[in-house]
Amino acid sequence: MVPIRGLKRRKKAEKEVDPLVHYSSVPSQLQPSLDWWDEFSKRITGPLFQSKDSAKFESVFKISRRTFNYICSLVKEEMMAKPANFTNLSGKLLSLNDRVAIALRRLSSGESLSAVGDSFGINQSTVSQITWRFVEAMEERGLHHLRWPSTEEDMKEIKTRFEKIRGLPNCCGAIDTTHIMISIDQSNNIWCDKEQNHSMILQAIVDPEMRFRDIVTGWPGSLGDSMVLKSSSFYRLSEEGKRLNGKNMKLSKNTELREYIVGDVAFPLLPWLLTPYRGRGLPDFEANFNRRHFASRMVAQRALARLKETWKIIQGVMWRPDKNRLPRIILVCCLLHNIVIDLEDEVQDEMPMPFSHHHDSDYRQQVSNSIDHSAYVQREKLSLYLCGRLPP
C-alpha cells in the first residue's frame, strides 16, 4: 500500500503490461512513426534547441528509449482515451509518444507550463492537461512498481543486500523524510515548518537499491518526522505485528533479533525501528554500531536526493500548488524513480550521484526523545554482537 492523503483509490483491476507491447489499439493517425524522435526533436525550440545535445533523446529525458517505451506501454490506454484531441500549435494531433514526452519533460525539468509549451510548440493549457492525464494514468497502471515485499524470498534478498553494506543483519529498510517546498498564502501557518518554509512532507522507506518500498505524503511541513511516522499505516501495521514480522535471527543461544528498519534520531527508538546512539565519547561497541547504522541508512538519503535531482518538479519551490493534486504528483515521481531502477536503466546508471546526499538543504536535524525500553535492549545486544562481545 502507498498511504497518500488526498488520493482516491480506484477499484479498477490492475493489468500487467508487456514492455514490448505494440500500439495496435491506438488510432493509426496517432501512432508514432519509426523516426518519431527525429521528427519530434525538430519541433524543440528555446534552450533545448540551443543545446549542443538537443537532438539526443537521453539528454532531454534522462532515461533510455527502452524505459520511455515501457512507460508509454503502461499509460497508453488512459493517455489516448477520448476526449483527447490534443494538438500542437500547427493543429497536428499529438501521438502517444508526444504526450508522454511532454509530461515527462514537465516532471523532470521542473520548468513552468509556458516554458515546456514553448519548447515543444504547444500551449500551456495543453501541457497542464497532458501532464495531469499522465499522472492519473500512472496512478492507475504503475502502482505495482511501489510495494512492500510480498514474499519471504523477496525480503531475504533485501536483508542480504543490507548486510553487505556494513554488516547490519536482519535489516529490512531505511526510513527518511524530505520537504517539498511550496509557495502559498504566508498566513497559512499549518504548512510552515521549523525552518519557516512552507512545505509538504514525503516520508519514504527504501531498500538497498534505493527503491521506494513505502511512502507517505500530503502532510504539512509543520509536523515533525516522528508525528508523520506515527500517523502512517506503516506504523500501525508494524505495531500490530502485521509488518516486519518475518523470521527472527539468532544472535546467541538466548538472544534473537527481529526484523527492523533503520532511521536517524528524528524517529523514535522502537523494536522495529532502530536509531543511532546519541552523544559523544561513546563506548567502542556503540560507536561501531553507529558507523554501520549510518552507512545503512544512507541509502534513504541518497534515494531522496536522486528523486529530487531527477524529477525536478519537486526539487524547487512549487508555485501555489493544488494541495490535493501535489501528493499525487509526488507519488508518480516516486513510481518513475522505481521504474528506472526496476528496468535497470543504463542512462541512470551512467548519471553521477547527486553531489550531496542532503536532500533538505539548510534543515537542522530533528530529534525524538521517545525510547522504547525493549528496543533499547535489542539495540544494545545487536551492538555487542557486532563487536563479538555478546555472551553465548
pLDDT per residue as tens digits for the range 118-169: 988 899 999 999 999 999 999 999 999 999 999 999 999 999 999 999 999 9
Rounded Cα–Cα distance for residues 157 and 296 (Å): 15
Asked whether residue 12 carries a pLDDT value surpassing 60, the answer given is no
**What single letter denotes the amino acid at residue 346?**
E
pLDDT at 334: 98
Are 79 and 109 in the same domain?
yes
Are 107 and 205 in the same domain?
no
Total domains in the fold of the chain: 2
- Per-residue pLDDT of 308-367, as tens digits, reads 999 999 998 888 888 889 999 999 999 999 999 999 998 877 766 554 567 887 789 999
Q: Which of 109, 141, 173 is the last residue before a domain boundary?
A: 141
The three-point CA angle 192-196-317 to 5° equals: 75
Q: Which of 251, 262, 273, 227 is nearest to 374 (CA)?
A: 273
On whether residue 230 sits in a domain, the answer given is yes
What cell numbers appear for 61 in the block? 529525458
pLDDT at 330: 97
Whole-structure pTM value: 0.89
On whether residue 379 sits in a domain, the answer given is yes
Are 216 and 164 in the same domain?
yes
**Residue 203 domain boundaries:** 152-386
Are 136 and 171 in the same domain?
no
What would the DSSP string read from start to end of 309-333? Answer: HHSGGGTSEEES--TTTHHHHHHHH
Cβ count near 275 (within 10 Å): 24
Identify the residue whose cell numbers are 506501454.
73
Main-chain dihedrals φ then ψ at residue 204, nearest 5 degrees: -135, 140
Are 118 and 181 in the same domain?
no
On whether residue 326 sits in a domain, the answer given is yes
Count of alpha carbons within 13 Å of 162, Cβ hemisphere only? 29
212-220 and 199-206 as β-strands: parallel, antiparallel, unpaired? antiparallel
Q: Is 51 helix (H, G, I), strand (E, B) or coil?
A: coil
Rounded Cα–Cα distance for residues 124 and 239 (Å): 47
Are 216 and 125 in the same domain?
no
On whether residue 333 sits in a domain, the answer given is yes
pLDDT at 123: 93
On whether residue 176 sits in a domain, the answer given is yes
On whether residue 15 sits in a domain, the answer given is no
Can you say whether residue 108 is alpha, beta or left, with left for phi > 0 and alpha for psi between -120 and 50 degrees?
Answer: alpha
Are 277 and 250 in the same domain?
yes
Are 176 and 84 in the same domain?
no
Report in angstroms the alpha-carbon separations of 324 from 316, 329, 330. 18, 10, 11
What cell numbers appear for 282 in the block? 561513546
| Cβ-contact 145, 336 below 8 angstroms | no
Taken in order 127, 351, 207, 223, is the CA torsion positive or negative?
negative
Report in angstroms the alpha-carbon separations of 391 from 253, 254, 373, 388. 9, 9, 20, 9
Q: Which of 106, 141, 176 is the last residue before a domain boundary?
A: 141
- Per-residue pLDDT of 49-67, as tens digits, reads 555 454 478 888 889 999 9
Contacts of 98 by beta carbon, 8 Å cutoff, 6+ apart: 32, 40, 88, 120
Are 179 and 117 in the same domain?
no
Are 86 and 213 in the same domain?
no
What cell numbers appear for 348 in the block? 541512470
Are 302 and 371 in the same domain?
yes
Q: Which of 71, 88, 85 is nearest to 135 (CA)?
A: 71
Rounded Cα–Cα distance for residues 310 and 70 (Å): 18
Are 112 and 173 in the same domain?
no
Task: Cite the beta strand spans of the chain per DSSP E.
Answer: 171-183, 199-206, 212-220, 249-252, 255-257, 260-262, 273-274, 317-319
Q: Which of 141, 172, 204 is the last residue before a domain boundary?
A: 141
On whether residue 12 sits in a domain, the answer given is no
On whether residue 22 sits in a domain, the answer given is no
